[in-house]
Amino acid sequence: MSNKHEVVGRAMLDAEFRKALFADPKAACEAAKLPLADHDYAQINAMDKDAFETAVADLTGGVGAG
């Protein structure tokens, strides 16, 4: 599994990681030992964070929702 998949999975289930990821993607991924390419960090920065939170809540029934 690629680090991208690991980051997405962890972001869905771990609200604290997701909060850190949205605040500073590179620092959060490096701290989690899941480094990504620079273009991946740019995509995270451009992401609609509210839409991601809504998707997490919808997919998990609120588990991991922040």
pLDDT in tens, 46-61: 999 999 999 988 887 7
Is residue 62 assigned to a domain?
no
User: Are the CB atoms for 35 and 29 separated by under 8 Å?
Assistant: yes
Is residue 26 assigned to a domain?
yes
For residues 64 and 45, give the distance between their C-alpha atoms in angstroms, rounded to a whole number.
20
Name the pLDDT band for 1 (thresholds 50, 70, 90). low
Q: Which residues, 6+ apart, have CB-to-CB distance to 10 below 8 Å?
A: 17, 32, 34
Task: Tell me which residue range forms the domain holding 45.
Answer: 3-57
Name the pLDDT band for 36 (thresholds 50, 70, 90). very high
Q: How many domains does the chain have?
A: 1
Is residue 63 assigned to a domain?
no
Is residue 11 assigned to a domain?
yes
Is residue 35 assigned to a domain?
yes
Nearest Cα to 47, choosing from 16, 13, 7? 7
Copy the structure tokens of residue 20: 């850190």
**pTM: predicted TM-score of the whole model, two decimal places:** 0.83
